[in-house]
Amino acid sequence: MADYLPFTRPSIDEETIESVAEVLRSGWITTGPKVAEFEKRLADYLGGGRFLRSFLHATGALEEALVIAGVKPGDEVIVPAMTFAASANVVLRLGAKPVLVDVDLKTRALNMDQAAAAVTGKTRAIMPVHLNGLAADLDAVYALAKKHGLRVVEDAAQAIGTSYKGRKIGSFGDLVVFSFHANKNLTTIEGGAVSLADAEETRQLETLRFHGITKHSDGTMDVTRPASKHNMTDVAAAVGLGQLKHLDEFNKKRRDLAYRYLDLLGDEKLGVVPARGDQGHSWHMFTLLPRYNRACPDRKTLRERMHARGIGLGIHYQALNQFSLYRNMGYREGQFPNAERIGLETVTLPLFPAMALADVERVRAALAACLEMG
């Protein structure tokens, strides 16, 4: 289908492609000068005088950020029930317990009243998720953390370029984790990073991302802990450097497209639209809760009909308690009504920088036809 419109597509220019070829020709393709340059430029972009360390993928970055936060077996970490599975899976991998709480239907952010009620003597950290590029209520999150002496590990996988009250996510706060997966606003194909303020914790993070090794000036090394391997490659960093040049441009285009969706869908006749946010919203995704009916009773039917019209719809995400792993932990249906409704009904509409505003109009018209609502 030549004019098929997927829900996302990366934008990689020829200059970036050539820079990757140059890295391949150089003979230094794993962690090297390009990674160092990417980390510096990204830290400069975020501002705030932070330390920035890159990772092979965001899942590893998130897990090691929890280690830095002191999460140990038997601890608890508060996590929203509506997020990608990795957010909670990494907690389990450390032998800790993800304590799930519901989210707001439109912002997808943690319900802070429920988060406060979930704090126990075992709680070690809280993990706000900036889902779809909209910043969580960080004032409330950090106030709760301060009250109970908790660490904050921000899952900013979808929030590169997002701002909160005029400050870029990652320019402040405790431990902030980004993803650069292929579908993110900035991609390194696969990749992630942690932004943090403490020099000693940064040193620990460096050992955690590469076998627990500390290198000495005489060329020898020591292994101080049984760590894994998460180092980014120079090939990936070259892609990231090319992407970083266009990030603000990409995010502006995403906002323009999202605002057009809101113009066309804001009456909510076709479904519940997400919270608008402000200019700090980076609009990683635009999700809709369609108004299903007898003519179009469910998501499966809608996706099939849209696909037949040349438009792809994604699903982001199922609620965590809808997975057998978390059901086996004792979480049950009905505990998180907002997250569960999102998980069962939501569709992700096409949104990527190469789209035109006319594509948004095409999506709206197709939705109306497929839902048979005019």
Largest CA distance in the chain: 73
* CA distances from residue 151 to 204, 241, 295, 372 in whole angstroms, order as listed: 16, 31, 49, 49
Within 8 A by CB and 6+ apart from 25, the residues are none
pTM of the model: 0.97
Is the peptide bond prior to 326 cis by the omega test (within 30 degrees of 0)?
A: no
Task: Specify the 3-state DSSP secondary structure of 121.
Answer: coil
CA neighbor of 129 nearest in space, from 186, 85, 188, 69? 85
Q: Strand 286-290: give its sheet, edge to edge.
A: 271-272, 286-290, 347-349
Question: Can you give the pLDDT at residue 98?
Answer: 98
What gap in Å lies between CA 88 and CA 158, rounded to an integer? 16
Taking only the tens place, the pLDDT of each residue in 294-352 is 999 999 999 999 999 999 999 999 999 999 999 999 999 999 999 999 999 999 999 99
* 82 φ/ψ angles, rounded to the nearest 5 degrees: -110, 100
Beta-sheet pairing, 175-179 with 192-196: antiparallel
Which structure tokens are listed for 106?
């439109």
Alpha carbon dihedral 116, 118, 119, 122, in 10-degree steps, equals -170
CATH assignment, 14-244? 3.40.640.10
Which residue's entry shows tokens 């990366």?
10
CATH assignment of 247-370, among 3.40.50.150, 2.40.160.60, 3.20.20.70, 3.90.1150.10: 3.90.1150.10
* Residues of the chain predicted below pLDDT 50: none
Catalytic residue ranges: 184
CA neighbor of 369 nearest in space, from 315, 314, 316, 301? 301
Beta-sheet pairing, 151-156 with 175-179: parallel
What gap in Å lies between CA 326 and CA 348, rounded to an integer? 24
Same fold, 14-244 and 247-370: no
- For the chain, the domains span 14-244, 247-370
